Amino acid sequence: MGWAANMFDCREWPGECTLAISGEEDEVVEAQLLHAMQAHGQQDGPDLRKLIRASLKPAPAGA
């Protein structure tokens, strides 16, 4: 693997969402952005993208 895996875990946020997304940083940001808009009614914008990117963590091995 030539890239560092990142993870966004929706379970760490208030609510009952159980989704965790892992992969390359830009892919995770885009996937979480779509999820936030579709499942949680968020609006796309620079602040949401910054929040998602700032919330990324290294993915556990094998994720």
- 1-5, 23-27, 42-46, 55-59: which has the minimum mean pLDDT? 1-5
State how far the alpha carbon of 34 is from the alpha carbons of 59, 60, 62, in Å. Answer: 20, 23, 24
Asked whether residue 2 carries a pLDDT value surpassing 70, the answer given is: no
Q: Which pLDDT score is estimated for 62?
A: 67
State how far the alpha carbon of 33 is from the alpha carbons of 50, 56, 62, in Å. Answer: 10, 12, 23
Identify the three-state secondary structure at position 13.
coil
Question: 32: how many CB neighbours lie within 10 A of its CB?
Answer: 25
Q: Which pLDDT score is estimated for 35?
A: 96
- How many contiguous H segments (helices) and E segments (strands) does the chain have? 2, 3
Q: Which pLDDT score is estimated for 23?
A: 95
